[in-house]
Structure 1
């Protein structure tokens, strides 16, 4: 197959661009790619997953992002909002009280807010952590919670593989292990939004045991929120619709 010309690439859906190695720096999910994702539900078609318990929706403000185009991209507002939900769902049974969970979720909503592009962008976790320490009032006003020190540490380490930790990062990890591993797991579960299955969740890289329901629910959360966004609703309403659809009957 010939590589697409730049003009062709502008018209190709993300999953086709990923297949030929031509993804742009900023990637916005399109309908053909979302349909491609929906057709690849983990485990195949089956019963609709349900939220194991309620989660507070926390949707980051687009103005918090380093670049306007990043707020609408694959690492933008909806990604942060879904990770904030997933970290709340995963936190059950890990000994964190409600305030600690919501402080971590507030930080999780902003964990990619300092990204400059949708590529690897080394250091974006540290930049987001620094932003969180400078803007506690913004989080408090929007979410009713500030990012705690353990939540800031989790954001700083979320993009660094365990094997690549520096001695200082190892120290921070051992001090805040649960928060770091919860955020890493929640972030990984939202990888179903990415336009190639080779980038989807790899549970072997995580330090937490992932519940059986989590993969199906994370996939459905991506499909439902992104479908609503493509239909023209706001990010906050897209999340609301998805959470309502996933409520236990």
Structure 2
């Protein structure tokens, strides 16, 4: 049988392309893939989780991204915004001061802004950190928080495995260990957006403990934000709608 043509691939859902090993360089969420993700809920069916703490919405501007194609992709604006939320939620349990948590969230929202594609793209963390260093006014104007040294270090190291740190990176990690591990954890928790379960979070790989409620909440955050955008919401409105849905009083709260 002939292999699918690129035009045929363009019509196939991401989760089917992932199973066939035919994912394109730029991968945009589609309704069948989102329905598949929603049906793979960690822990199985159950009550929708509830936000354990308030979180500030921090959404990166599309103009900050290296390529237009990446803004709506699986490493784009919504991914950055969700990671910014998750950083704030997980940081509470690790006693990070609110101001430091918001500064880290602002940088976390931009951690993939210099990506060139949705593959591994080595070095994109360092490129994003350099961009943050060169454009502090962008974040301060948008979010009221300039990127801190620890936040910039976290962005620079988020895509580098601990075992692959150079001596210089290892020294930077020792100085800013909590910020680096918080961003790595939040980034990992948002892997439920990826179109194959083999790429979903493996919490045993983290250096930092995350709460029991975090996986289910992170999965639901993916489903709610992506569904809202597919339904026509802007990036910012999609995040607000998701957080509102996770904050309603009638929902059963997660155990903390």
Which range, TM-score by smaller chain? over 0.9
Q: Partner of 2:6 in structure 1?
A: 6
Task: Summarize deviations over 1:146-203 as a string: whole Å, max 9, x none.
Answer: 1100000000000000011001010011110000000000000000000000000011
What is the TM-score of this pair, normalised by structure 1?
Answer: 0.98
Q: Partner of 1:222 in structure 2?
A: 222
Q: Partner of 1:125 in structure 2?
A: 125
| Unmatched 5+ stretches in structure 2 | 250-256
The alignment partner of 1:114 has SS state of coil
Shift of 1:2: 6.7
CA distance in 2, matches of 1:27, 1:137: 30
Shift of 1:3: 4.2
Shift of 1:6: 2.1
Q: Partner of 2:44 in structure 1?
A: 44
Q: Partner of 2:88 in structure 1?
A: 88
Runs ≥4 residues deviating over 4 A = none
Shift of 1:63: 0.1
* Matches for 1:1-249 after TM superposition, within 5 Å: 3-247=3-247, 249=249
Shift of 1:248: 5.0
- Number of equivalent positions: 249
Structure 2 CA distance for partners of 1:50 and 1:167, relative to 1, 3 Å:
same
CA distance in 2, matches of 1:120, 1:85: 23
CA distance in 2, matches of 1:242, 1:93: 22
1:3–1:20: 8 Å Cα contact kept in structure 2? no
Task: Summarize deviations over 1:60-115 as a string: whole Å, max 9, x none.
Answer: 00000000111110000000000000000000132321110000000000000000
The alignment partner of 2:224 has SS state of helix
Root-mean-square deviation (CA, aligned residues, Å) is 1.0
